[in-house]
Amino acid sequence: MVGAGLSGAVTGRLLAEAGYRVTVVDARDHIAGNCHTRRCPETGVLVHVYGPHIFHTDDAEVWDYVNRFERFLPYKNRVKATTGGAVYSLPINLHTINQFFGKTLRPDEARAFIEEQADTSITDPQTFEEQALRFVGPALYEAFFKGYTIKQWGCHPRELPASILKRLPVRFNYEDDYFSHRFQGMPETGYTEMIGRILDHPGIDVHLNTRFTRDQSGRYAHVFYSGPLDGWYEYDIGRLGYRTLDFERFTYDGDWQGCAVMNYGEESVPFTRITEHKHFAPWETHAGSILYREYSRACGPEDIPYYPIRLVTEKALLRRYAERAAAEGGVTFMGRLGTYRYLDMDVTIREALDTGHRFLNSREKGQEMPALTSSVS
Ligand code: FAD
Ligand code: UDP
């Protein structure tokens, strides 16, 4: 398993339970990949080191899986947004609409009001901007989405696909849960502890501070690679585009913002959001507080890749890498970097379980495991 994140840990555990000897390597000095959490020794706050991670899923099997290794405590993500000198509730809901437009609309009235604002000439929105103008209209788009998205993606929303905005609901009631999934929660002791327990099996050896390169593949019966797809080929035909994040850490003696996540809609504010980590564990009490101001920028060769960009040029390059990958034997590409997709944790676990089962089935039948098990383009 190349990578001790969720992908490598979950597939590794499944194969170890089936009797395989599994070696997990990670270039970093810790397990858990980007889900890594660490307790701050000074304040006792559990910090989401690579940005805020909230577990949410509709997949009952995945929910049972994570609960096998960790106690999840109830947590709803209630995000706030600062824009135009006021604080609002996200995702856009009846409270946001009434507060923003200074009205007291009921659900049906709000729906009709927003429909009046919307650009109904857009029948099949293709871009982020068209999707926003069609479903919330120009005023809410400008206040909440345009500036934030320019900062987050480094390009204009008319260059981005509508699918990015489709991740967010618009609600005509007062429900302000950021996610609509049935099962949601936070790991009581942290994601790192949970992934540590997944990796804790006599058939699994973990080696940290160990970078894997393709030429080492011969030592193993099969390689499951959750590193970057283009990295497997030493980026020889170019780099797939990513956004990276810079976290500006600061501390406060008390409660700095009163919620876990505050987004900043305006382009003139250079960061996208501020995360106050102690609010992810409301069952804990800490006097001190740790906060991250989050800045997004283009990812250079030495930076950590966070968000795959997937615009037209990246997709063309991705297709070329994917064609090469599909022809490989003895390796399977997996996870958010290996398949160059934005994957939530629950989808990562689902795919890692499916990949493991597929490997066991193909071994039983004496067949070769495919290098790509999901469509990446
Ligand atoms: P990773 O966690 O990236 O693990 C890959 C590992 O491989 C890394 O540790 C890396 O060091 C290692 N590696 C790479 N190349 C090599 C090599 N050559 N040799 C050795 N090791 C190597 N999901 C949610 O469900 N909810 C959220 O709220 C949420 N928030 C997020 C916020 C941010 C800012 C980001 C970026 C993602 C968020 N996610 C969230 C998604 C979540 O982080 C991913 O689903 C998850 O990390 C994917 O796990 P992975 O194992 O595929 O990849
Ligand atoms: N978005 C925005 N304003 C916000 C929150 C989100 O414009 O306050 C846009 C932004 O382009 C983001 C997308 O909506 O990439 C999807 O939001 P989500 O919260 O899913 O972003 P992620 O979890 O990927 O950071």
CATH classification (class only), 6-76+183-237+312-365? alpha beta
The answer to whether the pTM exceeds 0.75 is yes
Per DSSP, 35 falls in state G
For residue 198, the model assigns a pLDDT of 99
Strands 273-276 and 288-298: antiparallel
- 344 is an active site residue: yes
Cα radius of gyration (the chain): 22
Catalytic-role residue among 134, 273, 336, 350: 273
For residue 377, the model assigns a pLDDT of 66
For residue 32, the model assigns a pLDDT of 98
Per DSSP, 115 falls in state H
Distance 376 CA to ligand 1 centre (A): 17
Distance 149 CA to ligand 2 centre (A): 7
Q: Is 226 in the pocket of ligand 1 (CB under 6 A)?
A: yes
Q: Whose CA is nearest to atom 7 of ligand 2?
A: 145
For residue 310, the model assigns a pLDDT of 85
Distance 344 CA to ligand 1 centre (A): 9
pLDDT mean values, one per 10 residues, the chain (377 residues): 98 98 98 98 97 98 98 97 98 98 98 95 94 96 98 96 92 97 98 98 98 96 97 96 97 98 98 98 98 98 94 90 95 96 96 97 94 79
| Dihedral Cα 32, 34, 36, 39, nearest 10 deg | 170
For residue 125, the surrounding DSSP H or E stretch is: none
Catalytic-role residue among 243, 293, 324, 358: 243
Catalytic-role residue among 167, 182, 249, 319: 167
Q: Whose CA is nearest to atom 18 of ligand 1?
A: 212
For residue 271, the model assigns a pLDDT of 98
Q: Is 144 in the pocket of ligand 2 (CB under 6 A)?
A: yes
Q: Is 148 in the pocket of ligand 2 (CB under 6 A)?
A: yes
Provide the 3-class DSSP secondary structure of residue 112: helix
For residue 108, the model assigns a pLDDT of 98
Tokens linked to 292: 């991250």
Which ligand gives the minimal distance to the CA of 83? Answer: 2
Q: Whose CA is nearest to atom 7 of ligand 1?
A: 3
Domain regions of the chain by residue span:
6-76+183-237+312-365, 94-167
